[in-house]
Chains A and B, each alone.
Chain A
Amino acid sequence: SAVISQKPSRDICQRGTSLTIQCQVDSQVTMMFWYRQQPGQSLTLIATANQGSEATYESGFVIDKFPISRPNLTFSTLTVSNMSPEDSSIYLCSVELPVAGADNEQFFGPGTRLTVL
C-alpha cells in the first residue's frame, strides 16, 4: 500500500482566485492521478500527472484551468485557477501501485475539500 497526504485538507476561497493542492506519497510511484468529486457525485478523472512531461487531461478538463506539476516520483500539485463556485468540490490524488492478485491498484489520498464563495 501507500501513504498519501494532501495539503490543504480543506479551504474556502474567493471567486477569481487560485488554489494549489499538494499531494505527497511515501514511496516512488510511476502513475499519479487527480480526480474531482462534486457534492453528491462520484469521482471524475481530471488528468494523469506524468513525471517529467506535461499532464494528460481528460475530456472537459484543460491545462489552463487545472495546471499540474509532477517534479518527481513522490510529489504532484494541482492548481485550480480562476475559481468559481462551480469548482467547489473534493479534489483527490491517487497513485497506482502493483498489488499481488491485481495488475495495479489505485490508492487515494484523503482529499482536499474546496469551497468557492
Chain B
Amino acid sequence: GQNIDQPTEMTATEGAIVQINCTYQTSGFNGLFWYQQHAGEAPTFLSYNVLDGLEEKGRFSSFLSRSKGYSYLLLKELQMKDSASYLCAVSLPYSGGGADGLTFGKGTHLIIQP
C-alpha cells in the first residue's frame, strides 16, 4: 500500500521558523503537494514539487528528495494565522485508475504560540 508519514502535531512561536517533514513510500510518484487547512475549511494549495530541490514562495518553501522519499515544508516569520493543519499529498500515476488523484498523509496540526 501507499504510506505517507508526517508528525501529528507541532508547536512553534510567532516570528520563528518551523519545518514540517513528510516521508513517503509509494508505488509511483507524479509529484508532491503541500496544502494548508484551517479548521472547518477546505484545503488550500501551498506548493508543488516534482523535481529534487527547494521551491520558495514568500514565507513558505518546500523541499523534495525523490531518492529519499522525503519532503519538508518550511514556514518562516510565523504568524498566528499560520495555525492550521498542513497536509502532505503525493500524486500517484493512475492510482486505482484515478489519474493524478492525490494520496494524503494524515496532516500535521501546527500550533503557533505568542
Q: Taking beta carbons and an 8 Å cutoff, which residues of A are in contact with B? A: 31, 33, 41-45, 47-48, 56-59, 92, 96, 99, 101-111
* B29 touches A (CB below 8 Å): no
Chain B 21-41 residues near chain A, CB threshold 8 A: 30-31, 33, 35, 41
Does B10 lie at the interface of the complex (its beta carbon under 8 Å from any beta carbon of A)? no
Asked if residues B48 and A58 are in contact (CB atoms below 8 Å), the reply is no
CB contact between B104 and one of A42, A96, A103, A111 (< 8 Å): that residue: A42
**Contact call A45/B98, Cβ cutoff below 8 A:** yes
A23 to B112, CA, bound (A): 34
Residue numbers in A under 8 Å from B96 (CB-CB) = 45, 56-59
A31 touches B42 (CB 8 A): no
Q: Given the complex of chains A and B, what is the CA–CA distance between A107 and B44 in angstroms?
A: 7
Q: Is A48 in contact with B97, judged by CB distance below 8 angstroms?
A: yes
CB distance from B30 to the nearest CB of A (A): 7
CA–CA, A92 and B40, complex, Å: 12
Q: For A92, list chain B residues within 8 Å (CB).
A: 42-43
Q: Check A108/B43 contact, CB under 8 A, given A102-B48, A103-B30.
A: yes
Q: A105-B45, A108-B43, A109-B42 are in contact. Are A58 and B107 (CB under 8 A)?
A: no
Interface string of B84-114 (1 = CB under 8 A from A): 0001010100011111111111110000000
Knowing A42-B105, A42-B107, the reply to whether A31 touches B41 (Cβ < 8 A) is no
A101 surroundings in chain B (CB, below 8 A): 48
- B54 interface residue per 8 A CB criterion: no
Closest A-B pairs by Cβ, 10 of them: A48-B98, A56-B97, A102-B48, A108-B42, A58-B96, A42-B104, A45-B101, A43-B104, A42-B106, A42-B107
